[in-house]
Amino acid sequence: MIINHPLLGPRDSAEFVYLGDASLIERPDPAAETALVDFVDYAYMRENPAGSLRELWFHEAGDRSWLVVTRNTMTHEISDVQMACDVARKIGRSK
Amino acid sequence: MQYSGFKVIKEALTGHKGWKPAWRDPEPQSNYDIVIIGGGGHGLATAHYLAKIYGEKKIAVLEKGWIGGGNVGRNTTIVRSNYLLDGNEPFYEMSLKLWEGLEQDLNYNAMISQRGIMNLIHSDAQRDAFVRRGNAMMLNGADAEYLDLDQIKKEYPFLNFDDARFPIKGGLAQRRGGTVRHDAVAWGYARSADSHGVDIIQNCEVTGFRIENGKCLGVETSRGYIGASKVGCAVAGSSGRLMAKANMRLPIESHILQAFVSEGLKPVLPGVITFGAGHFYVSQSDKGGLVFGGDLDGYNSYAQRGNLPVVEDVCEGGMAIMPMIGRARLLRMWGGIMDMSMDGSPIIDRTHIDGLYFNGGWCYGGFKATPASGMVFAHLLAKDEPHETATAYRFDRFKTGHMIDEKGMGNQPNLH
């Protein structure tokens, strides 16, 4: 698979380390009443769709940036790549 | 029809006109006591034990394609019980014992060959860890044997003992481990279940569950609605897809694992060998091909095919311990979908929905577990309580902290 890095252009996926579902960016509020249940859900439960999935890839053998890659789990086709820091800022993280 | 040597000779002398299909092809009835989704090894084994051991009647196995076409037909056929943790080892040892009696139980030749498995040791620390694992195995009634360098040289003289990076220091052997003809396992269980009255319904895809007031009443299928008092799901790699139809999220990701077969060679490999410093395991099939595999590709996938970097990595692992295979050509390679759980161990439990039961999260160890998985899932479905060897395989272990993490990798499914 070739991942089209927003800064570096097309790179071999073997340069990356895979973390999984991009919803891991949205860490629950540790001060919430339901924090225990929320964190169990956050740490252990996954959507696991057969189709389009947003996922986190780390460019370990490159610029060490985190990417949010939208990829089809049936065909391995990649439809979108964004910098994870941009995605996180958009939802109010990493101010 | 009972299979036997006399039967083979009689049929040979009478033109092979007396053989019958090994199982029926029934139309689905409108209602069953127990419906099992998934006509793979685990689903068919569950049906067999439900009918034979637990005396249940009116059972159906629903399979969206043909039986045995999923992971039971796509694995590297190894059986063993060399686990460390208490939650796992008694379960896998029960499985190995069931393998040992399987052919008599099913009246079916599954070509079970206890040719032994050996895990190679490459460092002093690894020796400590493997000896500890061997002790844990023996405490649970399994066999384990530490082999020093001289013994390994005698049994496997062709290994690369003096590799500069990963010299071989010893090995942990389990003599009762080995290989099984994988397709025959599915067919043998199917034939036996069918002869005990189980309806095996192929080309019948489950498209949804009928759930009312927190109780599962039956399943919607491509061949119409089928009512059931109890529904058991045993669909391995498709667990996420299937349980999403019941609005359930699972502690499971589906990953791709590749396996390989070389061209046929003369007998060179007496048992199963695993590389301790990389990820590579190999055995030789009765047809002569080297059957081997390695790591997951590492990303979520339902594609049943992998990519080339892992092919290279696996072949490098093979060359590191057995340089003699360098000239052998690869004949086939394929991928299977692994239901990778968050701690590397399976889940066999009730769900929060009444009458809906789940069996999955097998990671890439499902084949060796087939008989025990069927037995404990049948127990759960029949008695509504877990079998004594499967009490740890609960859904809520992630919440309560009772993970069964053999490798100590944490909630990172692609590392288990």
Q: Do B104 and B35 share a structural domain?
A: yes
Domain membership flag for residue B5: no
Q: What is the pLDDT of residues B40-93, one digit of tens each?
A: 999 999 999 999 999 999 999 999 999 999 999 999 999 999 999 999 999 999
Domain membership flag for residue B239: yes
Q: Select from B338, B354, B388 the last residue of a domain.
A: B338
Could you give the ipTM of this predicted complex?
A: 0.94
Looking at residue B92, its pLDDT comes to 98
Mean pLDDT of B401-413: 93
Q: Do B348 and B283 share a structural domain?
A: no
Domain membership flag for residue B384: yes
Contacts of B179 (CB under 8 A, 6+ apart): B77, B78, B79, B112, B113, B115, B272, B283, B285, B291
Q: Do B228 and B271 share a structural domain?
A: no
Burial status of residue B30 (CB atoms within 10 A of its CB: 0-12, 13-18, 19 or more)? exposed
Q: Do B100 and B222 share a structural domain?
A: yes
Mean pLDDT of A44-67: 96
Whether residue B350 is predicted with pLDDT greater than 80 in this model: the reply is yes
Question: With an 8 Å Cβ cutoff, are A14 and B309 in contact?
Answer: yes
Domain membership flag for residue A43: yes
Q: Do B211 and B295 share a structural domain?
A: no
Domain membership flag for residue A8: yes
Mean pLDDT of B90-98: 98
Q: Does A64 touch chain B (CB under 8 A)?
A: no
Looking at residue B328, its pLDDT comes to 95
Residue type, A93: R
Q: How confident is the model at residue B355 (pLDDT cuts 50, 70, 90)?
A: very high
CATH number at residue B220: 3.50.50.60
Domain membership flag for residue A95: no
Mean pLDDT of B380-406: 96
Q: Do B42 and B100 share a structural domain?
A: yes
Burial status of residue A92 (CB atoms within 10 A of its CB: 0-12, 13-18, 19 or more)? exposed
- Interface residues of chain B, partner chain A, Cβ below 8 Å: 238-241, 244, 249-254, 298-303, 307, 309, 342, 398-399, 411-414
DSSP B154-186: HH-TTS-TT-SSS---EEEEETT-EE--HHHHH
Q: Do B200 and B102 share a structural domain?
A: yes
Q: How confident is the model at residue B1 (pLDDT cuts 50, 70, 90)?
A: confident
| Token duo for residue B346 | 């399976």
Whether residue A40 is predicted with pLDDT greater than 70 in this model: the reply is yes
Q: Select from B294, B314, B338 the last residue of a domain.
A: B338
Question: With an 8 Å Cβ cutoff, are A45 and B250 in contact?
Answer: yes
Q: Do B260 and B246 share a structural domain?
A: no
CATH number at residue A27: 3.30.2270.10
Whether residue A95 is predicted with pLDDT greater than 60 in this model: the reply is no
CATH number at residue B164: 3.30.9.10
CA distance A59 to chain B (A): 14
Q: How confident is the model at residue A92 (pLDDT cuts 50, 70, 90)?
A: confident
Residue B383 CA to chain centroid, in angstroms? Answer: 24
- DSSP reduced 3-state for B373: helix
Domain membership flag for residue B9: no
Range of the domain at B215: 30-81+83-108+182-253+343-415
Range of the domain at A80: 2-90
- DSSP reduced 3-state for A90: helix
Q: Does A46 touch chain B (CB under 8 A)?
A: yes
Q: What is the pLDDT of residues B165-220, one digit of tens each?
A: 999 999 999 999 999 999 999 999 999 999 999 999 999 999 999 999 999 999 99
Q: Do B165 and B307 share a structural domain?
A: yes
Looking at residue B230, its pLDDT comes to 98
How many domains, chain B? 2
Percent of chain B whose pLDDT exceeds 90: 98
Question: With an 8 Å Cβ cutoff, are A49 and B414 in contact?
Answer: no
Q: Select from B279, B308, B338 the last residue of a domain.
A: B338
Q: Do B225 and B205 share a structural domain?
A: yes
* Count of A-B CB contacts under 8 Å: 72
Q: Does A43 touch chain B (CB under 8 A)?
A: yes
**What whole-number distance in Å separates Cα of residue A50 and Cα of residue A72?**
8
Q: How confident is the model at residue A93 (pLDDT cuts 50, 70, 90)?
A: confident
**What whole-number distance in Å separates Cα of residue B310 and Cα of residue B278?**
12
Q: Do B141 and B43 share a structural domain?
A: no
Q: What is the pLDDT of residues A10-28, one digit of tens each?
A: 999 999 999 999 999 999 9
Q: Which value, in Å, is the radius of gyration of the alpha carbons in chain B?
A: 22
**What whole-number distance in Å separates Cα of residue B367 and Cα of residue B84?**
18
Compare all CA atoms of chain A with the CA of B342 and give the residue at the minimum distance.
A44
Distances in Å between the Cα of B242 and the Cα atoms of A73, B17, B31, B358, B375 are 15, 42, 20, 11, 22
Q: What is the pLDDT of residues A67-87, one digit of tens each?
A: 999 999 999 999 999 999 999
Looking at residue A94, its pLDDT comes to 65
8 A C-beta contact, residue B310 and residue B295:
yes
Q: Does A73 touch chain B (CB under 8 A)?
A: yes
How many domains, chain A? 1
Q: Do B208 and B241 share a structural domain?
A: yes
Q: How confident is the model at residue B260 (pLDDT cuts 50, 70, 90)?
A: very high
Tell if the pTM clears 0.90, that is, is over it.
Answer: yes
Q: Mean pLDDT in chain A? A: 94
Q: Which residue in the set A46, A55, A73 is minimally distant from B302, CB to CB? A: A73
Mean pLDDT of B331-357: 96
What are the E-state strand segments in B135-279?
145-147, 170-174, 178-179, 199-201, 206-212, 215-221, 224-233, 252-264, 272-275
